[in-house]
Structure 1
Amino acid sequence: MNNDNGLGKWVAGPRSKWVTLLVWAAAAALLSLFLPSVNGEEKNNAPNLGSSKPSVQAEVIAEREFPGGADVPALLVWHREGGLTDADLENVRKLSAELASSPVPHQTSAPPLHEMPLQALKARLSEDGSTFVSPVLFDRQADAERLKEGVERIKEDAKRLFGEDPFGADAGSEALSARVTGPVGIQIDATGLFKNADFALLVATVGLVLALLLLIYRSPILALLPLIAVGFAYGVIGPVLGWMASEGWITVDSQAISIMTVLLFGAGTDYCLFLISRFRQLLMAEESKAAALRGAISGSAGAIAMSGFTVVLALLALLLARYGAYHRFAVPFSVSILIMGVASLTLVPALLAIFGRASFWPFVPRTPAMKAERAARKGRPVPAVPKPARNRVGSLVVRRPWTIVFAAVVVLGALAAASSQIKFTYDILSSFPGDMASREGFQLIGDKFSPGELAPANVIVDSRGKDVSGLGETLKSLDYVSKVGEPRQGAQNPNLALYEVEFAMNPYSLEAMEKIPDLRQAAEDALAKAGALNPEEGVWIGGATAEQHDAKTTGDRDARLIIPVVIGLIALLLLLYLRSVVAMAYLVLTVVLSYFSALGLGWLILHYGMGADAIQGAIPLYSFVFLVALGEDYNIFMISSIWKKRKEMPLLQAIKEGVGETSSVITSAGLILAGTFAVLATLPIQVLVQFGVITAVGVLLDTFVVRPFLVPAITALLGRRVFWPGRHEAVGTGGESAKSA
């Protein structure tokens, strides 16, 4: 064994191990002391769309030309089973007067309901008289925390004026209840869900990783070592990302931090286990723990570095995205994995050097000579040398490669075919728990009024002096429109007119989003009929539905670009690492097949097992980047073992031993990584539940199907052709192909 490993001497030598530990501890402490925390730099209202998008342009025009037209509404939904009373409406008028005389923070305007007679208010009740909706407009530039400040003031004012708390009352009771919905209520609730999930997610993730490590390795010290490494890495990552965010280089939000936590503990623990397992194997053959550790570093550092670099590059590909939520993930996630990879190659070896064999207590790995000496010292019989464990999976792979490839492709292909049945949604409300205030309020509006009142579309047209007075009637005649407001004239450009259009459906639904091009075409046709030149340049559509339409088209564009880029980057790295076009090709293809299989199986679980009617539209791209990058980690680790053993033995024997050597650690790592992503399924946020389920399923497919069976079986079938165009001379006799086996 070659113990001359420079990295091992630098980070895990007799003195350097303490220096390494001290450097990491000092870095985490000093950075946390002098740099801002990433949690303190969250920005949850960062725009997802660029200035060139039609809905953003409409927003700019509305803000300039139509005072209040670009403000965001909070819809206060007042409800009493059996009907609202005159006293209830008088209280609503009192609150309106209070908002007029003493606006809450970040409020821009509110309808003067207190100036309207009681009969006028009654005319705006729902048909059964049980529900009334009053809007309050807020500054669009205010983030969720500032909006929440204003809404909380409204709740306090209502409680003081009404003598009771309608916002705390059950919406299905005969007492007066109130809920805040609309864009403001939805934004506050969405941010609150992610913010409240951070601590619970961290505790659940740490607890699960610790429990799995204890269950798998039955060693308390070993279970803590990866968590210590991740903890130190997290102590460095948080301040570094916080500093980058404070400088304006990156933007972080609650959702990114939540997923980053899971990724860090899952992937970080995997990298630690790759090194720890190799160290444990060598301790059974090498008396010197230092020599064993240097050999473990030498044997696994390349695969760990390659695995980490693959994930980093795949995540950095998200920088190509134009949709803000995708783009914002790139740097925080890649920096996290990069720092965790460095910790796995420096801090973990140092910790293993400090604890040595005691890391595995009470099941300490020893050489046969050490066991004999220990037995003699205690006056016990010399233990027999245990027979090598039978490698059933490796033996099966080299004996039945055609059967395994056929069976794996059929199973994975069938699951992948199920992915074609997936239905997507861009309705953020469907991600909320049923008892969330904004969702309850929206449900009341949908039941008692038109759901389109929740988020009307703003149709802005430039008449250029032409008579477009018939546009309102044209819009009203559309079968998907329930109501069209009176046109408002532009403040600076009198040729501009804004029509507020309410859909006859959920404005956040995919069905409503698909109507945006039709709505635009109807407005353009009206302009053309009036004689306006270039009517396509004189129509803008704003509002939540238009924003979501632009978000979908932008996200689709990003997926079409990023998916091939990620595949290309990973293929290039594999080619450079393995120097084989053939191996690169089937490793990439198997992971892509595994991804589509994960989508299909995940959909079956979510749809038939958990009752989901659709999954969030952003999930396929997120899942692809994570699954393809992380799934390739296991292939790299196993193939690295086969490639090294191939230098000393026939290929089929190398495959058999490579599968056996890596099976336990990859199984352990896969269970831990899948478990950490599965933690997301315990949260009350459907988008994270769906992402967690699909990603966890994909990791398990990689762990138990692709890595132990499909990839080595293909390698066995291809024989020496797997190294093409590189050359690899046969070692010994026999075993060069499945046929000769």
Structure 2
Amino acid sequence: MHRQIAGKLTGPVTKWIVLVGVLVLLGIFGSLAGKLTSVQNNEAESWLPQSAESTQAIKRLEAFQDPNDLVTTVVYYRESGLTDEDLAAIETDATEIAKIEGVSNVITPQGAQTAGIPAPYVSEDGQVAKLDFTINRGDALWEDMPDVADEIRDITAIDGVEVYVAGAGGTTADQAAAFAGMDGRLLLITLCAVVLILLVSYRSPILWALPIFCAVVSLGIAMGVLYLLAKYADMTINGQTQFIMTVLVIGAGTDYALLLVARYREELRRHEDRHEAMAFALHRAAPAIFASASTVVVGLLCLMFAELNSTAGLGPANAVAVAVTFLVMVTLLPALLVICGRWVFWPFIPRFGTAEPTESGFWARTGNRIAPRPRKVWIFTTIALLVVALGALRLDTSGIPNDETYVAGHDVESVAGNELLVEHGLVDASSPIQIVADTDQADAVVGAMDGIEGIQQATVVAEQDGTSLILANLTADPLDDQSIEAVHEVRDAVHSVDGAHAQVGGWTAVTIDIEEASSRDNKVVIPIMLIAVMLILMGLLRALTSPLILIGTVILSFGAALGLSGLVFDLVYDRPHTDPGFPLYAFVFLVALGIDYNIFLMTRVREETVTKGTRRGSLIALASTGGVITAAGIVLAATFGALATMPLTFALQIGTAIALGVLLDTMIVRSVLVTAINLDLGGKIWWPHALDRKPPVVPPEDTSDPAPEPESVTV
């Protein structure tokens, strides 16, 4: 049946139907792809679980403030001390800033003193002063804030004074500027890396264009589909989901293309008619590609069990993207290859009747070196990976502080401004602790916070419908350990006030809730995903032992990847802190993608075992799939490595971890560890199936479909 379907998809007429059909879909959904950014939801509430205290506080805060209000701080610094003329200029600046569209509640040093605001606006040493204001431009604020920041810089320029746009508004401006055009740049960098690798792998100046074109088509269709799902089906899409999707689609799509093209090249040597060759190639490669894509899709869907909304939303969106990529790669790519003909492989065109390369390549030699002492090899490799995994102890998943949000060497104005405020004893009022409580107990709530270190005196700032808003400014960076401990103490204190129904929000509280939700998700989602992948492997290999072995090796590979990452983050990047969701993201992608290569290898082992036995079949499988899998691993590592070009620490870390993990998996775990275990255990890996408990079955000669010879891919 598979062969019949494959033949119908790649026939002399149907190839054109497939081409036109996919291009029509691209026209429909691709036209919507550019709108995906417009339906992103990057608000804090969209990332948090509904049950989190900070989420509930955000909802109650809507009665007191517009969620689009953004407090911005302008920081003035003169090393020799601000002069009276400087302070007078700040008052003049405030008048001009108040004229900017959406600006309100401008507070200057003089205005704060007049209003009796207890928080100082000029440092004791006289070197630093600040000006606060609120800006609101509705949903357009993210796009507008970089321009607003530029306008403020023009207004506040004073000779000899360094001026920084900081606070929540400055942070938003810097983040928006960093992301501006990033999707396009990331796509371009990813494609350039993949093109270079394909040029080396295929040794053809033409062939690389087809997988790249199909990958771009996959991305365009997937983005259009996700736009509709986000707009009409309430699917959560945020910036993090979108940039991960870009590299995932390009990387996974190219991997599938490598496997299919390698099979097609084999069959072109056996079949004179290229349509027939593609029918056989698609028949053989599609099941492995389907199993690979299914593993990734199921692994991503397991994220739906996450409590953290940002994590739960990332899974379904990327699962849809991978499913679209699979469909495009087994329809459009075969059609294009058949339409183009053999010449697309130029200058190394696979001619009909020519011999396939023998088992004498690098991976064949690697297998022959493992074969004499497989047990020693897999034991030594396992110990080495366990030692490397100890580096994970250096990872700190408590969250990325403000001064580490961006990669080293990337100077960020808002970070520098916030640091100046802290160093000179001023308070960043843009990220206070926000407490909502019943009005009749508001005074008791304020009193309960007396004496808590790390916060200023709490004050009631508003009351509405029996609920009061209480603010307490932090005396340190909102993500500093001192601030986090202070929020914990505030929560304990206000929760102890009977009848207050007090809830604590604010950026620090949000960070705490994200960390707690991430910890819960790690304990819940990881086991669910392992079970799901295990079931897929059992169905594919029709065995129990080999799936257990493969799951074990992937977990070991993940641990080693975290270990390497911990060392690199700390010793090379000088960014030891990671996002609380980092371990789960790394696990999902490394396990889902790492198991792909084991699927490619083990399906070939099983195929060869039928006629040659497990040990001989393992060597043949390693030799014949080694080049393809290595090239696929390098492609995937390069695509995720492209995330390291982004200025954000989280992108740098997740890209580095996945790239290291994929290379580790393809070069060591899959090629050395799994092969050594197969050679050591032999037919026992197929238990309880009787696949290798009887003499190999030698099939009758089939000249129309001979057994595949080892394939070679230059890497």
- Whether TM-score is above 0.5 comes out as yes
* Deviations 1:65-94, CA, capped at 9 Å, x for gaps: x56899541122122232223233223223
Q: Which has the larger radius of gyration?
A: 1
- Could you tell me how far 1:110 is from its partner in structure 2? 3.1
Shift of 1:673: 0.6
Contact 2:274 2:338 in 1 (8 A): yes
- Aligned residue in 2 for 1:427: 400
Matched, 1:135 2:120: no
Map 1:20-99 onto structure 2 (within 5 A). 20-33=18-31, 37-45=35-43, 47-64=46-63, 66=64, 71-98=69-96
1:446, distance to aligned residue in structure 2 (A): 1.7
Matched, 1:238 2:223: yes
Which range moved further: 344-353 or 68-77? 68-77
Please point out which of 436, 451, 458 is paired with 1:477. Answer: 451
Q: How is 1:582-621 mapped onto 2 (pairs within 5 angstroms)?
A: 582-621=545-584
- The yes-or-no answer on 1:501 pairing with 2:499 is no
- The reply to whether residue 318 of structure 1 matches residue 315 of structure 2 is no
CA distance in 2, matches of 1:408, 1:223: 35
Match of residue 375 from structure 1: none
Task: Report the 3-state secondary structure (helix = DSSP H, G, I; strand = E; otherwise coil) of the residue aligned with 1:506.
Answer: coil
Tell me if 1:293 matches 2:278: yes
SS in 2 for 1:339: helix
1:682 and 2:645 are equivalent in the alignment: yes
Q: What secondary structure sits across from 2:236 in the alignment? A: coil
1:607 and 1:466 mapped to 2: Cα distance? 45
Change (3 A) 1:31 1:370: same
Summarize deviations over 1:530-578 as a string: whole Å, max 9, x none: xxxx46x633212111111111111222222111111111111111111
Q: Secondary structure at the match of 2:163?
A: strand
- Residue of structure 2 equivalent to 1:414: 387
The alignment's TM-score, normalised by the length of structure 2, stands at 0.89
Residue 220 (structure 2) pairs with residue 220 (structure 1): no
CA deviation map 1:637-665 (0-9, x unaligned): 10000101111112211111011110000
Give TM-score scaled by structure 1 length.
0.86
Letter in 1 for 2:256: Y
TM-superposed CA distance for 1:420, in Å, is 2.4
Give the partner amino acid of 2:132.
P
For 1:647 and 1:516, the matched residues in 2 are separated by 63
2-side partners of 1:119 and 1:538: how far apart?
Answer: 31
- 1:563/1:127 Cα in 2 relative to 1: closer, same or farther (>3 Å)? same
What is the deviation of 1:519? 2.0
- Give yes or no for contact 1:312–1:338 (8 Å, CA) kept in 2: yes
Residue of structure 1 in register with 2:262 after alignment: 277
CA distance in 2, matches of 1:292, 1:321: 45
Which sits farther off after the overlay, 28-37 or 270-279?
Answer: 28-37
Q: How does 1:334-349 map to 2 (within 5 A)?
A: 334-349=319-334
User: Structure 1 residues 396 and 133, CA, compared in 2 at 3 Å: closer, same or farther?
Assistant: same
Greater mean deviation of Cα atoms: 321-330 or 66-75: 66-75
Gap change, CA 1:355 and 1:158, over 3 Å in 2: closer
Residue in 1 that maps onto 2:636: 673
Q: Secondary structure at the match of 1:435?
A: coil
SS of the residue corresponding to residue 574 of structure 2 reads coil
Q: Which moved more, 1:234-243 or 1:647-656?
A: 234-243
**Aligned counterpart for 1:457 among listed residues 433, 439, 460:** 433
Q: In 2 relative to 1, CA 263–511 (structure 1 residues): closer, same or farther, beyond 3 Å? A: farther
CA deviation vs aligned residue, 1:244-273 (integer Å, no higher than 9, x gap): 222253232222221111111111100110
Secondary structure of the corresponding residue to residue 74 of structure 1:
strand
Task: Decide whether aligned partners of structure 1 residues 291 and 152 sit closer, same or farther in structure 2, where only a CA change above 3 A counts.
Answer: closer
Structure-1 residue corresponding to 2:608: 645
Contact (CA 8 Å) 1:68, 1:109: kept in 2 or not? no
Residue 153 to residue 354, structure 1, CA distance change in 2 (3 Å): closer
2:195 equivalent to 1:195: no
C-alpha contact (below 8 Å) 2:39/2:227 kept by paired residues: yes
Percentage identity across paired residues of the two chains? 28
1:512 corresponds to 2:511: no
Equivalent residue for 2:412, pick from 431, 436, 441: 436
Aligned partners of 2:145 and 2:173 also within 8 Å: no
Aligned equivalent of 1:333: 318
Question: What displacement does 1:491 show?
Answer: 3.4
Structure 1: runs of 5+ lacking an equivalent: 167-173, 372-384, 528-533, 735-741
In structure 2, give the amino acid aligned to 1:677: F
Q: In 2 relative to 1, CA 147–138 (structure 1 residues): closer, same or farther, beyond 3 Å?
A: farther
Structure 2 unaligned segments of length 5 or more: list them: 698-715
Within a 5 Å distance, the mapping from 1:108-119 to structure 2 comes to 108-111=104-107
Structure 2 matches for 1:616-631, cutoff 5 A? 616-631=579-594
**Which residue does 1:738 correspond to in 2?**
none
Counterpart contact for 1:452–1:482, Cα < 8 Å: no
Secondary structure of the corresponding residue to residue 310 of structure 1? helix
Letter in 1 for 2:682: G
Matched, 1:403 2:403: no
Q: Deviations over 1:290-321 (max 9, x none)?
A: 33222211211111000001101111112222
Of 569, 574, 581, the residue aligned with 2:537 is 574
**Can you list the C-alpha shifts for 1:152-175, whole angstroms capped at 9, x where unaligned?**
447536735x6xx46xxxxxxx62
| Residues 728 and 708 of structure 1: CA distance in aligned 2, closer, same or farther (over 3 Å) | same
| Matches of 1:401 and 1:255, distance apart in 2 | 43
**Other structure's SS at 2:165 match:** strand
Q: How many residues align?
A: 690
Structure 1 residue 210 and structure 2 residue 178: aligned? no
Query: Does the residue aligned with 1:213 lie in a helix, a strand or coil?
Result: helix
Instruction: Report deviation, 1:580.
Output: 0.8
Question: Using a 3 Å threshold, how does the CA distance of structure 1 residues 352 and 477 change in structure 2: closer, same or farther?
Answer: same
- Answering whether residue 660 of structure 2 is matched by residue 662 of structure 1, we say no
Aligned-pair CA distance for 1:486: 3.5
Q: 1:467 to 1:17 in 2, by over 3 A?
A: closer
| 1:663-715 C-alpha deviation (Å, 9 max, x unpaired) | 00000000111111111112211110000100000000110111111112222
- Asked if residue 179 in structure 1 is aligned to residue 177 in structure 2, the reply is no
Match of 2:126, as an amino acid? G
The residue identity in structure 1 corresponding to 2:182 is A
- Closer, same or farther: CA 426–117 of 1 in aligned 2, 3 Å: closer
Q: Within 5 Å, which residues of 2 pair with 1:349-364?
A: 349-364=334-349
